[in-house]
Amino acid sequence: SEEKKKIKYTDEDIAILKDIEESIKEMEVARALFNSVSDHKLIELAIHEEDVARTRFDYLIVMAKRRGLRKIE
């Protein structure tokens, strides 16, 4: 079998990948908040927080693709 190439990531590459993981967690937290509250203002807050995290995630994914980054195992 072919040996996998060892990919060298810059500090910035690693930061982007970690930020992607963080934005996923932020979306999960916002979704959990949305599912656990009944107050209208908290529901709006949860929706807003998830939208912000999703926008950040989408931006970071574009950046990662441009750099040819893959998930760090």
**Predicted pLDDT of residue 73:** 61
- Measure CA of the first residue to CA of the last residue in the chain; give whole Å: 20
**Predicted pLDDT of residue 56:** 98
**Predicted pLDDT of residue 1:** 44
pLDDT tens, the chain, 73 aa long: 445 566 788 999 999 999 999 999 999 999 999 999 999 999 999 999 999 999 999 999 999 999 999 876 6
Assign 70 to helix, strand or coil. Answer: coil
Structure-token pair, residue 39? 């107050």
